[in-house]
Amino acid sequence: MRILFALALSALSLPAFAQAPVTVRNATDQEVFALYLGQVGANEWRDDLLGAATIAAGASHEVRRPGPACTYDLRLILKPGPEVIRRNVDVCATPEVVLTQAEVTAAQARSWRLENATTSTLLHLYITRPGAGSDRGEDRFGPVSLDPGLSFFVPRPAAGQCSADVIVRTAGGGEAVRPGLDLCVVDVVVIDQVDGEAPDRTPASVSVINRTGRPVTALHISAVAEANWGPNRLSQPLADGERYEFEAPNDNRCLYDARVVFADGGREDRMLVNFCQIGELLFEPLARGGDKRP
């Protein structure tokens, strides 16, 4: 009887154990912008398990793995790079995964560097086989954007896949292509000009709409490249269901981050909003929270 009870208790506890969270500790001096757990050996990465959150240097973050398996390939994207990939990680045996500075340094040594020498923010990076045309595959930036004057480390390809076209796209729709590069040899790829860039024409005003179910007491708008969120743009609290029109920043940019602060002290962010393409900014409940910047 005792044996049957123990077996039943074990069977009941298995699903909960299988879905137990995984803690990732960032023991580096960089910020982790994306975290993926993929099927071992598949090299396919689905949703970013951090959602809109990041893992600051020295911080930890708890995620729930995508299925009942214990063993996964782990991929982390840092800013300014590189990406770090660990194979065959048993998250049941090691529920806390620690990313070390030595891993990041070693990954950078195995990478080439993309340098943004333009005046535009680069939003997308594609690395394709020469002449692949419109089949560009994965955006190698993940959730990261590359501001003017900054660099991003990209892992070198596997042997036999060295020749590639490097393609970047900007917030304004511009594109630059560096064809036929040997990414096993090159150290730095400089993007100094983009073609087809649409002029930055920020609208005179943007309407913010509150559908969060909570009153909003502050609205902050900041260019992506800026660290400071800036002043509160609301002249009075914004109740649920209300709309408020504010003057858009007059700095000839398109990409901004937006933050609302609620009466209860909570906050909600919208990152990489293109004001050149929208006239309304909607805030409503999100399925996953967190911020991509402090």
Q: What is the DSSP letter of 236?
A: S
Mean pLDDT of the chain: 83
Q: Would residue 227 count as lying in a domain? A: yes
Co-location of 33 and 80 in the same domain: yes
Q: What is the pLDDT of residues 25-69, one digit of tens each?
A: 999 998 898 899 988 988 888 788 887 788 989 999 998 888 888
Classified as helix, coil or strand, 101 is helix
Q: Would residue 198 count as lying in a domain? A: no
CATH number at residue 237: 2.60.40.2890
Co-location of 27 and 99 in the same domain: yes
Classified as helix, coil or strand, 171 is coil
Q: How far is Cα 167 from Cα 292, in angstroms, rounded to an integer?
A: 24
* Residue 48 main-chain phi, psi, to 5 deg: -70, 115
Q: Would residue 219 count as lying in a domain? A: yes
Total length of the chain: 294
As a whole number of Å, the CA-based R_g of the chain is 22
| Helix count and strand count (H, E) for the chain | 2, 18
Q: How many domains does the chain have?
A: 3
The residue among 158, 191, 224 that closes a domain is: 191
Note down pLDDT in tens along the chain; length 294 residues: 444 434 443 444 444 444 678 999 999 998 898 899 988 988 888 788 887 788 989 999 998 888 888 999 999 988 887 889 999 999 999 889 999 999 999 999 999 999 988 888 888 999 998 877 777 888 888 878 888 888 899 999 988 899 999 999 987 788 999 999 999 999 999 999 898 876 656 677 888 999 889 999 999 988 776 778 889 999 899 999 999 998 887 776 777 888 999 999 988 888 778 787 777 888 886 533 344 444
Q: What's the pTM?
A: 0.61
Q: What is the pLDDT of residues 206-221, one digit of tens each?
A: 889 998 899 999 999 8
Q: Would residue 9 count as lying in a domain? A: no
Q: Which domain holds residue 263?
A: 205-283
